Amino acid sequence: MKCNVSSGSTFYHNKMAENTEGPAEVTGNLGKEEDAGPAGGGGAGGGGENLKRKAEDAGVLPQEPDPTKRLRQEGGAGSQLTPQVAQHYNRLEEKGLAHRNQSRIFHLRNFNNWIKSMLIADTLRRLRADSPGGRLCVLDLGVGKGGDLLKWKKGGIDHLVCADLAETSVQQCEERYRSMAGREGRGPRVFSAEFIAADCAKEDLSRRYRDPDTTFDLVSCQFVLHYSFESHAQADRMLRNAGERLRPGGYFIGTTPDGYELVRRLQAAEGLSFGNSIYSITFQQKEDFPLFGCQYDFHLEGVVDCPEFLVYFPLLEKMAERYGLRLVYRQTFAEFFQQQVTQGEGRGLLERMKALETYPPHEGQELASSDPEDYAHARARLEELRSKGEGGDRGTPEHPRVGTLSLAEWEATSLYLVYCFQKVEENKDNSTSNQPQPPETSQNQSQPPETSQTSQ
């Protein structure tokens, strides 16, 4: 049961399966959904955290004080799959709004976008609280086609460096930026920007900045970090690019698949694959999980179809220390959703971004999934509302309606986690005033947020 870091870089033994709960828990928690949206009450993410706790209890986490010491020599298999990743993203067409509206994963994409919006807004708030009125310079590491440009505009940042492996994506990102800047006049002023096509897991990005002395207040790495865990050298370079030019007090944030959750679902599956009608994940084996190069193939309806690598979070945390990065918080999407939906503009933005679908649908509208099982949790919640004479967050006592995600979409999004690191000064003092704090919570995390109360 011991993590075999010192001999063969494995992250935990398959006997972990004995201590884990299967994905049934995901469905179970969805039953509590409605007002909580898809996050139910802990959902799959809670399971991942349980797994971590159980892993710690069972003593299966790295025993060495610094698991990266040996890994620096072991390194991992090397980088063979980067061209495949670049090719996949270069070929991915920008299909436009009309197509996206029709997509089976329309709400899932919006939900993921909402998570990113809340994470970015939360971090910009922290930065502004620390230095009001300061100029904000941001690095978007793995920017893709610029899916977050509007979030940066809304956040009122001053300068953005956009970097990505896929050259075509960087070009499209630049075009998108130019067209956004060309429409200036409405809303906040558009930031200045520069664009770099580079393998951020291999190249030293600092050599490519327009101003060689550039430092960042924020580095954002959304749905990207896991690609660099092909080898130790690649993961280290990615983290170096993220951390080295962050100013003290600056933040490194992102989203990535939750390694614990992936392994939990794999162990619960009969073979090497698991998934549902919209996503599938196939591992190459389920006996051994190397710290680097632990490849799985990820397919998500029309969006992703390429190799990814398992990220063992305690290792990421340890590796990040090398660049002065200390973890502020790490939360599953389920946990982050529960927390953010009751804060600030969280709930309003959820509605505006159409991150949840209405169940039952309004007349003339179709559900995203034609499988009734995908909405069993929502029907159960409607029953509950009817028995109490309540309307839910989108209906009336006569016609209760709730905001939700289909089970298939929820199963896909609950694979992920958010992380937030802060660059701490090398000479750490002992006072607590400078210590980064997790986001404030107004209620018990184990309870679903009561969004219907906040909306009434």
Ligand X SMILES: C[S@@+](CC[C@H](N)C(=O)[O-])C[C@H]1O[C@@H](n2cnc3c(N)ncnc32)[C@H](O)[C@@H]1O
Residues near ligand X, by CB under 6 A: 82, 85, 89, 142-144, 147, 164-166, 169, 199-201, 222-224, 227-228
Mapped onto helix, strand or coil, the DSSP state of residue 426 is coil
Name the packing angle between helices 43-57 and 333-340 (round to 10°).
120
The enclosing H or E element of 160 equals strand 159-164
Q: How far is the CB of 431 from ligand X (least distance, A)?
A: 36
Q: Which is nearer to ligand X, 228 or 413 (CB)?
A: 228
What is the rounded distance in angstroms from the CA atom of residue 315 to the CA atom of residue 15? 20
* Residue closer to ligand X (CB basis): 74 or 199: 199
Assess whether the previous peptide bond of 67 is cis (omega < 30° from 0).
no
In the bound complex, what is the minimum distance in angstroms from residue 185's beta carbon to ligand X?
A: 26
The residue among 142 and 391 lying less far from ligand X, judged by its C-beta, is 142
Instruction: Find the shortest distance in angstroms from Cβ 231 to ligand X.
Output: 11
* Shortest distance (Å) from residue 375 CB to ligand X: 27
Number of H helices, E strands in the chain: 16, 13
Residue nearest to ligand X (CB): 144
Residue 421 to residue 119: CA distance in whole angstroms: 12
Based on CB atoms, which residue is closest to ligand X, 35 or 230? 230
Nearest distance from C-beta of residue 138 to ligand X, angstroms: 13
Q: Report the amino acid identity of residue 184.
A: E
Q: Which is nearer to ligand X, 145 or 330 (CB)?
A: 145
Pairing outcome for strands 192-197 and 159-164: parallel
Nearer to ligand X, 222 or 339 (CB): 222
Residue spans of alpha helices (H) in 143-195: 149-154, 167-182
CA torsion angle 123 409 227 325 (round to 10): 20
CB 150 → ligand X: shortest distance, Å? 11
Nearer to ligand X, 86 or 424 (CB): 86
**Pairing assessment for the beta strands 295-300 and 304-309 based on DSSP bridges:** antiparallel
Nearer to ligand X, 136 or 239 (CB): 239
CA distances from residue 31 to 37, 376, 384 in whole angstroms, order as listed: 11, 8, 10
294, two tokens: 């632990």
CB of 329 vs ligand X, minimal distance in Å:
19
Which lies closer to ligand X via its Cβ, residue 55 or residue 420? 420
**89 or 251, CB closer to ligand X?**
89
Q: Which helix (H) or strand (E) holds 115?
A: helix 106-130
Longest dimension (CA), the chain: 66
Q: Are 191 and 152 in contact (CB under 8 A)?
A: yes
**Bond before 360 cis per omega within 30 degrees:** yes
Q: How far apart are CA 4 and CA 289, in angstroms?
A: 9
Q: How far is the CB of 169 from ligand X (least distance, A)?
A: 5
Host H or E run for residue 114: helix 106-130
Least Å distance between CB 141 and ligand X? 7
Nearest residue to 220 (alpha-carbon basis) of 372, 374, 145, 116: 116
Minimum CB separation of residue 255 from ligand X in Å reads: 7
Taking the complex as a whole, the smallest distance from the CB of residue 339 to ligand X amounts, in Å, to 21
CB neighbours (10 Å) of residue 38?
27
How many CB atoms lie under 10 A from the CB of residue 380? Answer: 15
The nearer residue to ligand X, 142 or 290, going by C-beta atoms, is 142
Residue 146's Cβ-count burial label (10 Å; 0-12, 13-18, 19+) is buried
Q: Name which of 169 and 231 has its Cβ closer to ligand X.
A: 169
Nearest distance from C-beta of residue 292 to ligand X, angstroms: 14
Residue 179, helix vs strand vs coil:
helix
Q: Say if strands 246-257 and 357-359 run parallel, antiparallel, or are unpaired.
A: unpaired
